[in-house]
Amino acid sequence: MSDESPQPALPVLEYLRRQLDGSLKPGDTTHLRYPTAISRLLGLEIVAVDERTAAVRIQADPELHSNQQGTVHGGLLCELADAAIGTAHSTIIQPGESFTSVDLDARFLRPVFSGALVATARCTHPGRTISHYSCDIVREDGKTAATITSAIMTLRGDSAQGR
């Protein structure tokens, strides 16, 4: 008979830091779902994380991600930014809390045809309920392809249930 009890869930930031530095152990968990289903589907990868900031990368493939003109679809850029912003905000979410996007505003600056894209999100206003984020998506050549802003609402109590 083992005296080992289940390990308590890690805070999200600690969990993601361990994931990035390779020190995540079998049985380590957090109260949110990582990796997310959409990240697995699209091949999104968290490459940096800190409190209220995160960077997420995707390898853009024109066979998978392009529109009629052969450029990466703007919706994919929005999803990449949303993933970075959501990851950044998740670092401060406590058990029993949840969050949701209130809006997302995209400014497309130059086209993307293929290659690595990195979306880096940072909090510009850390509110108790509504926080604001800015996210730049940068191409392999170092040029910014899009800038996205978003407001995120933290949900608590009954509002956070079932999410």
User: Does residue 6 have a cis peptide bond before it, meaning omega lies within 30 degrees of 0?
Assistant: no
Q: Is residue 151 part of a domain?
A: yes
- Domains in the chain: how many in total? 1
Q: What is the average per-residue pLDDT within 117-126?
A: 98
Q: Is residue 113 part of a domain?
A: yes
Give phi and psi for 82, each to the nearest 5.
-60, -40
Distance CA 98, CA 162 (A): 9
Q: Is residue 5 part of a domain?
A: no
Here the tokens at position 144 are: 């910014």
pLDDT at 24: 95
Residue 145 maps to which CATH number?
Answer: 3.10.129.10
pLDDT band for position 161 (50/70/90)? confident
Q: Is residue 2 part of a domain?
A: no
Indicate the DSSP class of residue 10: B
Q: Is residue 111 part of a domain?
A: yes
**Number of neighbouring beta carbons within 10 Å of residue 74:** 15
Q: Is residue 142 part of a domain?
A: yes
Contacts of 43 (CB under 8 A, 6+ apart): 58, 59
Q: Which domain holds residue 74?
A: 12-160
Q: Is residue 122 within 8 Å of 55, Cβ to Cβ?
A: no
Beta strands, E only, the chain: 45-50, 53-60, 98-108, 115-125, 130-138, 144-155
Q: Is residue 132 within 8 Å of 92, Cβ to Cβ?
A: no
Q: Is residue 4 part of a domain?
A: no
The model carries a pTM of 0.94
Checking if the pLDDT of 158 tops 90, the result is: no
Q: Is residue 91 part of a domain?
A: yes
Q: What is the average per-residue pLDDT within 26-40?
A: 94
pLDDT band for position 6 (50/70/90)? low
